[in-house]
Structure 1
Amino acid sequence: MAHRKLSHEGTLVLDSEGLSKLLDDDETVVALVMEARSRGMEVVICAPAVIEAVHARTNRARPDRVLSGLRVVPVGEEEARAASSLLMEAGSHGHEYAIDAAVAATALRQQRPVAVLTSDIDDVAKLCGTRIRLIAV
């Protein structure tokens, strides 16, 4: 995993696909999260991404165990307004981009440097520009 060159300290933000793969014990994602923690990075996820990642086939006890090791960031009015502003700046709107915008807004408010583990590289890049590092899941 060292080839990913994560920073020492800072924050790793997961999107819903990152969490989904972590819940499924995907070796690459598990190793990346372990590396981030070993480098002193905090691992976070925004609350709406949790909603998107957990589904009927998810082992019911697994999300509780995995989420206990992450900081789940709530999305209140202030965060929703920030996400909405990002969407407007990117020229996007609607439910198709809403969770990506919440992930991006969450990432932009974390301790730097920030890396986002995402399946939506293009969408998150439009929302965050070069302010964060994107890692494809």
Structure 2
Amino acid sequence: MNHRIETVVLDSEGLSAWIARDRTVLAMIRSFHSMAADLVICANTIVEVMHARVNTARLNWVLSQVKVEAVTEQAARAAAGLLEEAGLHGHKYAIDATVAELALRRPGPVAVLTSDIDDMAKLCGSHVRLIAL
């Protein structure tokens, strides 16, 4: 990571990979820490990563390392607007839209750690840096 990043927003795949101790993601997290970047997730991303095999202790530790942002009515309305602008709709894109909305309102430069580059690019445009998993 050679470019300065103020905020890194993790989607569910980014958060899941960190919980699973994915080496590539762990290296990225160390790099973001060295930049003093804020690591941020949407509260609804927690719901997306929960399943029967999640190591709850590890999840709780990772969550203690990030800022968890609530999805307020204002944020939800803004996310719905992003969906409309991108020509997307429905539950398939709902959480992605809240992640994009969070990224767009954070202090920049902002990066999103995601496995869904195409949809996030539609939602964020060129306003955030997308880092593929």
Q: Scaled by the length of structure 2, what TM-score is found?
A: 0.97
AA aligned to 1:90 is A
Q: Secondary structure at the match of 2:93?
A: helix
The runs of 4+ residues in structure 1 deviating greater than 6 Å are: none
* Contact 1:87–1:101 (Cα < 8 Å) also in 2: yes
- How many residues in Structure 1 have an aligned counterpart in Structure 2? 133
51-60 or 120-129, which deviates more: 51-60
Structure 1: how far apart are the matches of 2:104 and 2:92?
20
| Cα displacement (A) at 1:28 | 0.7
- Whether 1:12 and 2:4 are equivalent positions in the alignment is no
Q: Is there any run of 5+ residues in structure 2 with no aligned partner, and where?
A: none
Q: Secondary structure at the match of 2:88?
A: coil
* Residue pairs, 1:18-29, within 5 angstroms: 18-29=14-25
Matched, 1:85 2:81: yes
Give, in angstroms, the shift of residue 119 of structure 1: 0.7
TM-score by length of 1: 0.94
Within 2, Cα distance between the matches of 1:6 and 1:123? 23
User: Which one-letter code corresponds to 2:77 in the other structure?
Assistant: R
Inter-partner Cα distance in structure 1 for 2:55 and 2:128: 32
Alignment counterpart, residue 119 of structure 2, candidates 111, 120, 123: 123
Deviation at 1:6, TM superposition (A): 3.9
Residues 106-117 of structure 1 mapped to structure 2, 5 A cutoff: 106-117=102-113
Amino acid at match of 1:95: H
Question: Per-residue deviation at 1:117?
Answer: 0.3
